[in-house]
Amino acid sequence: MKLNGAENPMEEWRKRYPEKFASEEQIFSHIHRGNHIFVGTGCGEPQFLIQALINYVSSHPKVIFDAEVIHIWTLGVAPYAEKKFSDNFRHTSFFIGKNTRESINQGLADYTPIFLSQLPDLFYRKTIPIDVALIQTSPPDRHGYLSLGVSVDVVKAAVEVATLVIAQVNSYMPRVHGDGFLPISEVDFLLPHDEPILEYHGEPDDEEVRKIGNYVSRLVQDGDTIQVGYGSIPNAILANLKEKKHLGIHTELLSDGIAELLKIGVADNSKKTINRGKTVTSFCMGSPETYAYIHDNPALEFRTIDYTNNPLIIAQHDNMVAINSVLDVDLTGQATAESIGHVFYSGIGGQADFMRGAMLARNGKTILALRSTAEKARTVRKSSSGRSRSATNRS
């Protein structure tokens, strides 16, 4: 559903800044050979803007060559990673989504492993140059501020360093509090186009996953501050926390499960050591109902990822619990969440940041959850100093 309901919210701004409104042809003519093009993250991906760029390249096949498309996580359209556009674009990803996984494993695109908390600084120092930022925002408010909505994470940094900023203005994008506000004066071109923003739904759980969720929930105590990753197992864990009291939220990802805990009052942030009373997150992936919940909600703060994922910030939370899932654990205790054998599957993301931060926190603990591969799915649980544990299913 549209969250910003004015009939013609852009008309006033079109009159005030006519130079920022142009045809797609004129806008994309400012992108040149060899440019480094940043694309907004996850559910904040500007789908229409990406497709318009591809249409422009298809119509002008000799205009853009050897450009690099930089993205964290592609959930929506990713035609720039297709082989037929290999002369025009080379895709670099910092986290692998299913739409680019095949291209990366075939060597048609690149994966750069990195802690997400380090990315903004690399943008600011131009170690990773950004020439063009393609983003999606809410319509401007009466003060002329756009909101980056569901994806503040590294998008704010990319916008601040880019030479050219092109924004798809979408009435479906929620307006969020925190670091995600962007004055209209800092955007070079505005392309209004309303469409439902991307949704993320975890895979359906099964009996094993529900058991894991139940076991892990027992490790979370009333008053803990939690971070929870994405996927069917983390969703099952969140579903089992509904009887807890006074949980705090400090997490990179705000999911449907976390939003539900906030709605029913289980998570009220009343016991947090810092940012008391506030849910702190960096990006949101979920359903339209969750997007409606975060819209203009002052109890939520969307911060840049170099804040949410900074281990030293995370460590300031007493009773911090970092909960994530992994794909494999070997006999030495090494865990991987980014690859299956020789196949790149996802990425480092923020898991390591939160594990380090939680281990440094007073009474903090880290939890890694996975399906058991032991005989008859027996439990495998190990602890290190009583603080780092793996929880799996048991029959």
Q: Which residues are known to be catalytic?
A: 252
Query: How much is the CA Rg of the chain, to the nearest whole Å?
Result: 21
Residue burial 313-338, b: 16+ Cβ < 10 Å; e: rest? bbbbbbbbbbbbbbeebeeeeebebb
Report yes or no: 278 and 301 within 8 Å, Cβ to Cβ.
Answer: yes
- CA 20 to chain CA centroid, Å, is 28
Locate the DSSP E strands across 320-364.
320-325, 328-329, 335-336, 339-340, 343-344
d(CA 226, CA 246): 11
Could you give phi then psi for residue 117, rounded to 5 degrees? -65, -20
Task: Retrieve residue 158's tokens.
Answer: 């990319």
141: CB partners within 8 A, 6+ apart: 147, 175
C-alpha distances out from residue 115 to 207, 253, 300, Å: 33, 15, 24
Determine the Cα angle at 187 with ends 185 and 193, to 5°. Answer: 120
Report yes or no: 237 and 259 within 8 Å, Cβ to Cβ.
Answer: no
Closest-CA residue to 299 (of 390, 177, 214, 204): 177
d(CA 272, CA 278): 9
d(CA 25, CA 316): 49
Report yes or no: 135 and 159 within 8 Å, Cβ to Cβ.
Answer: yes
